[in-house]
Amino acid sequence: MELLSLNRQELRKYMESLGYEPFRADQILKWVYKKFTTDFSSMSDVPKKLREELPKLLSVHCLEPLGRVPAPDAVKYMFRTRDGHLVETVLIKERDHLTLCVSSQVGCAVGCTFCATAVDGLRRNLEVHEILDQFLQVQRDTSERIRNVVFMGMGEPLANYENVKRASEIMVSPWGLDLSKRRITISTSGLIRQLEKMASDRVMKELNLAVSLNAPSQELRERIMPIAKTNPLKELMRVLVNFPLSRYRRITLEYVLIKDLNDGPEHARELVRLIGKYRKRFKVNLIPYNPDPVLPYERPTLDRVYEFQKVLWKANLSALVRFSKGADVFGACGQLRNRSVVKFKPHGQESEVGR
């Protein structure tokens, strides 16, 4: 049984079924989620008999760590699932905190033409325990506490809605990772039905929401994001305008700037018209495109990027330029793909990992 897929109530019932007091579950969860100890034999306040039984009954780690690639501003980790798939996770070093970019799927079915993750399509969804194990294994590898989580790794989180929801609930639960809801971000390409579901969910609606917009018109968005054909821009904006937000919270619109495609001042003016009177509800992250050798797109010049930003500023829109971290190890936005050969340095040793 996968320990990380169980919530507190379920684990307490399981302890009872084994003939132990329910509070033994609380002790185990404290070791795993508070002390990041996953060796049952080290759980000193758990009865010796139970400590000996647990390895046969419960599994904590389900991902095999294959290595890590350090960069000045990020560390990219690669894991292998039990059925042989590769999963990438990126630890981002911010000025005063760490953010973990977790994957929710192996590959992605959305098909954005500028994203390397979409090249190989979707293999499968990640299970709850596979999502949470990314956090636990990276946290054990770093001395500083990870306080922020972004579902911006491989996959479309809302296409794996139930598993992402359950993993998020464990992340914010006091008995779990106890992260603030304000420090977890769900990034989506704009799946309308799932966004409506998220808007009515007690926990999910309190998380930060980032939507990959990337184009100010339906025609252009369809060209670079085929998902727009079944999730039209007009309907998407209707859902976002009505999405429940507590005071001072805003929805982030992610806009990847691609040279000579969506980066002109005319596109910026069209984006202003699209947002219209709802400018206080949104903030725009302008992300200069992260080039990938398998894709035909290029990054615009900085002058072009800042010209786009100035158009938004003049319309009193909050717009920041975000340079993705980890690009030099292919760990930035849109670059996660499980390369055929990726160089890692686990424990100071250089090795190669094949797909």
Residues taking part in catalysis: 88, 333
Q: Which residues of 55-70 are buried (b: 16+ CB within 10 A; e: fewer)?
A: eeebbbbbbebbbbbe
171 burial (CB, 10 Å; 0-12 / 13-18 / 19+) is: buried
Contacts of 353 (CB under 8 A, 6+ apart): 66, 67, 78, 86, 341, 342, 344
Task: Residue 341: count other Cβ atoms within 10 Å of its Cβ.
Answer: 8
For every residue of 193-223, DSSP letters joined together read HHHHHHHT-TTGGGSEEEEE---SSHHHHHH
Q: What are the helix (H) ranges across the chain?
A: 8-17, 23-33, 48-57, 128-141, 161-172, 192-199, 218-224, 233-241, 265-275, 302-314
Residue 74 and residue 337: Cα distance in Å, rounded? 17
CA distance 32 to 294: 40
Q: Which residues contact 41 (CB under 8 A, 6 or more apart)?
A: 51
Q: Which DSSP state fits 16?
A: H
Q: Are 115 and 169 in contact (CB under 8 A)?
A: no
Decide the pairing of beta strands 282-288 and 251-257.
Answer: parallel
